[in-house]
Structure 1
Amino acid sequence: MTTPAAPGTAPRPYLPWLVWGTGLLAYVVAVMHRTSLGVAGVEAQERFGASASALASLAVVQLLVYAGLQVPVGVLLDRFGSRRLLVTGALVMSAGQLVLALATSTAPAVAGRLLVGVGDAMTFISLLRLVPAWFPARRVPLLTQLSGIVGQTGQVLSAVPLVLLLHGPGWTAAFASAAATGVLAAVLVLVAVRDSPVPGAAPLVRGTRDLVADLAQAWRHPGTRLGLWTHFVTQFPGTVFSLLWGFPFLVQAQGVATGTASALLTLFVVAGMATGPLVAVLVQRHPFRRSWLVLGIVGVNAGAWTVVLAWPGPAPLPLLVLLVLAMATGGPASLIGFDFARTFNPPNRLGTATGIVNVGGFAASLVTILLVGLVLDLLPGPDDLASFRVGMGVQYLVWAVGVVGVVVTRRRVRARMAAAGVVVPPVREALRRRRGPRRRRTR
């Protein structure tokens, strides 16, 4: 792992921000690639003559590859560093988008999305590795949140410009333009990003035995698994919605105009960015209540979906806005999983633990996307509201599994903390400590 420069060799003040900002730009483009199929779901069905489950398979392949490569990518980071993986990831995703641009049947489209998944898997975890290498430890939690939050603006690129290209020049021009954007991101990373502020520093190459031992130790610690279940239960509703089924649900089931649907997906991104700093502050002030914050956000998401799915007929637009705002809290909440990984793992295995956590949400998204597609294919009239109610209802099963995972691993974490002499204060005491100084300052 690379380390920041010593105080006497500190880089110029703007360099860390340039490095992080360029890596962040590469992640924004990666999110655009990841979510581009979601806004083109209707066009994809027409272009490929695909059923709902076949369309879901395109996203499933992408997520399956992404989730399966997280731990191997952590190993590659130790050997090659963030810069090389960011460049490689951007070029591989561009190749996948170009394949999709030229595809006229499902088979090559699946190959294209597979390449997108491979490149996407290299991007976010590489960006996270740059943060502790270039910034002091006190800034790492906030910049980790900002990396995830700002990166989601890539959904705006897929929800607005890509949709305009789809409805204008058409499918090939839209996805070829996305491929060109990825190549531009790769060039910028190659020019501006360095793995370490120390000139000539190289990533630490560790033996296979050490890497395997770190993987086993990271998995055995319940704090890592708590991070995984946190990511699992909070991220998937927004990912499923933005990646594939949100646009068809809004347009085909709810009867929303395509422009309005794009605006709702854009609102999803903006609201997530606004929610992120608030979540970061709550995590910083109440580190012993992070799991309660996670469960509360899950409740908000499930409650909003319950109201929309139970509404007689298409839901009114204000209610759909509330649904989007509720789902927007899931992205910032999923980043709490990485905070659990950072808290309960030493630096030498933080990359491995981060990879394990990052598997959770995408595994949940993969399963949900596939189940929704299967349900829609089994029901008559797959494009109507009644079928989508049943299809989107499979989310409750995934929530149930995730909540059980959070509760069980939280108990094990607290048991280990108690054995180490760490006392978790009761909620009343924690609130009393927070309120006490405020009363004294007002006197």
Structure 2
Amino acid sequence: MRHFRSLNAQAWLIFTLLTVCYGLASFFRTSPSTLAVDIMRDFSVGGGLMAVMSSAFFYPYAFMQIPAGILSDRWGPRNTICLFLLLGAAGALIFAGAHSVGMAALGRMLIGAGMAMVFVPALRVILYWFPPRLHALGTGLLLSLGTGGMLLATWPLMMLSQIMGWRGSMLAAAALTVFMSAVVWRVVRNRPEEKGFTPSWAASDDGPSVPPLKQTMLGILKTRTYWTVSIWFFCMYGAFFSLSGLWAGPYFIQGYGLDKSAAGGVLFCLALGSTLGPTLIGFLTPWLRLPKRGLLLVACSATLLLGFPLLLPRPVIPAALLPLWGVAFGIFCGGFGGIALTRIQDDFPPEIVGTATGMINIYTYLGSALLQLASGWIMEAQAPGAGAYTLPQYSRMFILYMFMFCCAFAASLFALRDGGAAGTRCSGLQSGAR
């Protein structure tokens, strides 16, 4: 019994450390929205170049998803996380010391490459340290609690930047990242056996054989499920991360006239909604008795309804209700990703679910990057070189985001059907993987 308690305590300690590391990824992803006004003023640039700088995070983050799984399998999660956290910290140092948009973009790229190597390796560690009955819980908690890093990138970061400046804030984040890399190296081990434990559920390396990576990826690309879920994530989550990670802060400061503290509070509520959303939805789903397609339609419909005020050229949401709006928008726009991902778990064999999930994650962050660029160009076209914009200019730019939410609604309506052809087509992969 003492052995089990010690193993259990060690597992949850490792889980906590990995959650903090994933929280750093969420923090760096969202921080430009909080600091955008100060950064544009410091660099004397407008929305176009600001979008280029901010979106630089997402390209390496997107395309490193598949290498993250490969390195975790071949080199080990612990080594992968520690090394790439240091790369992310180096990027944060470059970003904090940058005196040009190009250098700042380079820093953001290195941050994205480093932070991309946390989530997938962390899932690998959970697989070995927790019994199978807790794998789903561990994954859900990692997503929900790790996304809580967005909370630190809102009001707390706004307050810290007023004390230390945005550069000092990034230096502090870089120092914390280096510290976490050292702690992970000291405490985390890939398997319980490396700490002297012998769990009764010890994962066996025996099981269904996995086809070569090229064959697996080509098979996944041929399925309807892969493309429809990818479109949903590109449109829904790509738009949410782009909006919350770049424009939400400037919009409420310049458009609604809020001070930095009040705007940071709204951003905090937006992040809070997206953090609590997956857990809340997972708890309510059995009681709602709606098919997954119905839940996604509810999410898209509510997002369109809540997003409509963003299209209006004047403030229509009372300041007192903005925090409530932020929580609701965060829940419906940023909290239903787990429902969409279950389509992958339903339609693909377990031995290739990780590869399929990594391939879909690419579209979330690629969508974020491209939408930040496109929205930046829209703002730049309206007011070239301006570092501040009016509410009507923001409202015209938000048409792009509403269009993406409509596309996500269409994907939910016409493509993400429970069962049917998608599952049948994916079943061919299972037979080939055994």
1:410-436 CA-to-partner distances (Å, cap 9, x unmatched) read 249522447999xxxxxxxxxxxxxxx
Range with greater deviation from structure 2 (382-391 or 301-310): 301-310
* Post-superposition offset of 1:267: 1.5
Q: In 1, distance between residues paired with 2:405 and 2:179?
A: 38
Alignment check: 8 A CA contact 1:133 1:197 kept = yes
1:343 aligned partner, one-letter code = D
Match of 1:131 in 2: 126
The reply on whether 1:141 has 2:136 as its aligned counterpart is yes
* Post-superposition offset of 1:35: 1.8
Match of 2:7 in 1: 12
Structure 1 unaligned segments of length 5 or more: list them: 1-7, 422-443
The reply on whether 1:375 has 2:378 as its aligned counterpart is yes
Alignment check: 8 A CA contact 1:228 1:337 kept = no
Alignment check: 8 A CA contact 2:347 2:423 kept = no
When residues 81 and 220 of structure 1 are mapped into structure 2, their CA distance, relative to the original with a 3 A threshold, is farther
Match of 1:266 in 2: 268
Range with greater deviation from structure 2 (85-94 or 385-394): 85-94
Match of 2:296 in 1: 294
1:357 aligned partner, one-letter code = I
* Post-superposition offset of 1:73: 1.9
When residues 302 and 318 of structure 1 are mapped into structure 2, their CA distance, relative to the original with a 3 A threshold, is farther
The reply on whether 1:393 has 2:411 as its aligned counterpart is no
Equivalent residue pairs, number: 414
The reply on whether 1:45 has 2:40 as its aligned counterpart is yes
Match of 2:145 in 1: 150
Match of 2:198 in 1: none
The reply on whether 1:349 has 2:358 as its aligned counterpart is no
1:151-195 CA-to-partner distances (Å, cap 9, x unmatched) read 122122222343233222323322111100111111121122222
Q: What is the percent sequence identity of the aligned residues?
A: 24
State the secondary structure of the residue aligned to 1:383: coil
**Structure 1 segment 357-368 matched on structure 2, within 5 A:** 357-368=360-371
2:122 aligned partner, one-letter code = L
2:301 aligned partner, one-letter code = G
Match of 2:212 in 1: 210
2:373 aligned partner, one-letter code = L
1:109 aligned partner, one-letter code = A
Q: In 2, distance between residues paired with 1:403 and 1:25?
A: 33
Give the TM-score normalised by the residue count of structure 1.
0.84
Q: Structure 2 residue aligned with 1:415, among 418, 421, 424? A: 421
When residues 11 and 360 of structure 1 are mapped into structure 2, their CA distance, relative to the original with a 3 A threshold, is farther
2:375 aligned partner, one-letter code = V
When residues 138 and 203 of structure 1 are mapped into structure 2, their CA distance, relative to the original with a 3 A threshold, is closer
1:201-220 CA-to-partner distances (Å, cap 9, x unmatched) read 9997xx99711122222333
Alignment check: 8 A CA contact 1:65 1:117 kept = yes
1:251 aligned partner, one-letter code = I
1:337-362 CA-to-partner distances (Å, cap 9, x unmatched) read 33222332233222211201212322
Q: In 2, distance between residues paired with 1:226 and 1:129?
A: 26
1:358 aligned partner, one-letter code = N
* Post-superposition offset of 1:50: 1.6
When residues 291 and 232 of structure 1 are mapped into structure 2, their CA distance, relative to the original with a 3 A threshold, is farther
The reply on whether 1:92 has 2:87 as its aligned counterpart is yes
2:309 aligned partner, one-letter code = V
1:257-301 CA-to-partner distances (Å, cap 9, x unmatched) read 110111111122323333322211344567871222122111111
Match of 1:402 in 2: 408
**Structure 1 segment 238-253 matched on structure 2, within 5 A:** 238-253=240-255
When residues 316 and 308 of structure 1 are mapped into structure 2, their CA distance, relative to the original with a 3 A threshold, is farther
State the secondary structure of the residue aligned to 2:75: helix
Match of 1:332 in 2: 335
The reply on whether 1:175 has 2:177 as its aligned counterpart is no
State the secondary structure of the residue aligned to 1:12: helix
* Post-superposition offset of 1:106: 0.8
* Post-superposition offset of 1:133: 2.5
Range with greater deviation from structure 2 (264-273 or 400-409): 400-409
Alignment check: 8 A CA contact 1:233 1:399 kept = yes
* Post-superposition offset of 1:398: 1.7
The two structures, once aligned, show a CA RMSD in angstroms of 3.0
Q: In 1, distance between residues paired with 2:88 and 2:425?
A: 46
Q: Structure 1 residue aligned with 2:101, among 73, 86, 106? A: 106
Structure 2 unaligned segments of length 5 or more: list them: 196-201, 428-434
State the secondary structure of the residue aligned to 2:45: coil
State the secondary structure of the residue aligned to 2:192: coil
* Post-superposition offset of 1:231: 2.7
1:66-102 CA-to-partner distances (Å, cap 9, x unmatched) read 1122122222222123222221231111111100111
Q: In 2, distance between residues paired with 1:404 and 1:27?
A: 31
When residues 202 and 62 of structure 1 are mapped into structure 2, their CA distance, relative to the original with a 3 A threshold, is farther
Range with greater deviation from structure 2 (332-341 or 309-318): 309-318
State the secondary structure of the residue aligned to 1:410: coil
2:344 aligned partner, one-letter code = A
